[in-house]
């Protein structure tokens, strides 16, 4: 394991409406993918956490290299090496109905609950939420630009340093400790964060709702890639992670599906927000 020093800007509270920041040096434990036993679940890693102006929490995910995909899974899950060269902030939780309604003025969800993940929305809706969040005065002043995670960022954050079927191992009988899925959900969503997080402190990466990603649908490359963001055009957008409706096999780290970006038909699809610290 290596340790990296990251410079993180934190807001200072003042009596005037002035945006001041202090720079904090944070020591982050980074799991380096080497020839050692990578298949075992990693111990919890205390990654830096921050919050935005509407209370959404984020973990600062370190840069690194991992194997994306699953050789034992579907044909479209071709394992390949991916290197992410920049740290990024990933939402600790899926976007809730309360957060979505606060910003968008509406709640399209079928399974109502302020702390439940928002659902029954399209990729276009999720992108519009990110745009409006980025336009909030406090976020603009901080230089924050919010977006959907790429597929590579999503799977890297989901795996949290592991190569097993799930971030906790290969035994699907343990999935109920980490996810609301077909076996235990009672056919509905549940409040975010009510199951165990992965080793990087992210909740509901499996189950509850599918999560839209930035990428257009395309086959994985056969070789290694760096900072992939998917095709530049296409017909379908990707979503990941499974939902309350699906069995364990459809809630793996590598599972990937897609739909048209304008479609709102599925009532088990939501998203979580990503942020590059640089605002890019």
The number of folded domains in the chain is 1
In the chain, pLDDT over 90 holds for what percent of residues? 77
Q: What is the pLDDT of residue 37?
A: 40
* pLDDT tens per residue across span 31-78: 333 333 444 556 788 898 999 999 999 999 999 999 999 988 877 899
Residue 37 lies in a domain: yes
Residue 29 lies in a domain: yes
More confident residue, 34 or 273: 273
Residue 210 lies in a domain: yes
Domain that holds residue 262: 2-275
Please say whether the beta carbons of 230 and 214 come within 8 A.
yes
The token pair that represents 146 in the structure block: 């919010």
Q: What is the pLDDT of residue 277?
A: 65
Interhelix angle 97-104/123-135, nearest 10 degrees:
70
Using the predicted structure, report yes or no on whether residue 87 has a pLDDT greater than 90. yes
Residue 280 lies in a domain: no
* pLDDT tens per residue across span 189-226: 999 999 999 999 999 999 999 999 999 999 999 899 99
Q: What is the pLDDT of residue 224?
A: 97
Using the predicted structure, report yes or no on whether residue 179 has a pLDDT greater than 50. yes
Alpha carbons within 13 angstroms on the beta-carbon side of residue 119 total: 26
Residue 137 lies in a domain: yes
More confident residue, 10 or 213: 213
Residue 142, domain CATH: 3.90.1580.10
């Amino acid at each position: 394991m290596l340790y990296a020093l990251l410079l993180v800007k934190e807001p200072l509270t003042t009596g005037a409406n002035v945006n001041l920041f202090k720079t904090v040096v944070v020591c982050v434990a980074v799991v380096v993918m080497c020839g050692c036993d990578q298949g075992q679940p990693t111990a919890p890693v205390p990654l830096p956490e921050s919050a935005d102006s509407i209370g959404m929490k984020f973990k600062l995910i370190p840069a690194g290299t991992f194997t994306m995909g699953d050789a034992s899974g579907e044909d479209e899950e071709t394992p390949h090496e991916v290197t992410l060269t920049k740290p990024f902030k990933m939402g600790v939780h899926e976007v809730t109905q309360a957060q979505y309604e606060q910003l968008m003025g509406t709640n399209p969800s079928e399974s109502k609950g302020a702390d439940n993940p928002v659902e029954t929305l399209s990729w276009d809706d999720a992108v519009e939420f990110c745009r409006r969040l980025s336009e909030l005065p406090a976020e603009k002043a901080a230089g924050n630009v919010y977006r959907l995670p790429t597929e590579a960022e999503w799977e890297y954050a989901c795996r949290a340093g592991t190569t097993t079927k799930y971030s906790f191992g290969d035994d699907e009988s343990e999935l109920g400790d980490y996810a609301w899925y077909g076996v235990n959900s009672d056919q509905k969503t549940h409040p975010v964060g009510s199951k165990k997080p992965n080793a990087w402190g992210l909740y509901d990466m499996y189950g509850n709702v599918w999560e839209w990603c930035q990428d257009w649908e395309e086959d994985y490359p056969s070789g290694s890639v760096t900072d992939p963001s998917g095709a530049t055009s296409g017909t379908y957008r990707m979503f990941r992670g499974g939902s309350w409706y699906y069995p364990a096999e459809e809630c793996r780290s590598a599972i990937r599906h897609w739909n048209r970006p304008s479609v709102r038909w599925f009532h088990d699809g939501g998203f979580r927000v990503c942020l590059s610290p640089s605002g890019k």
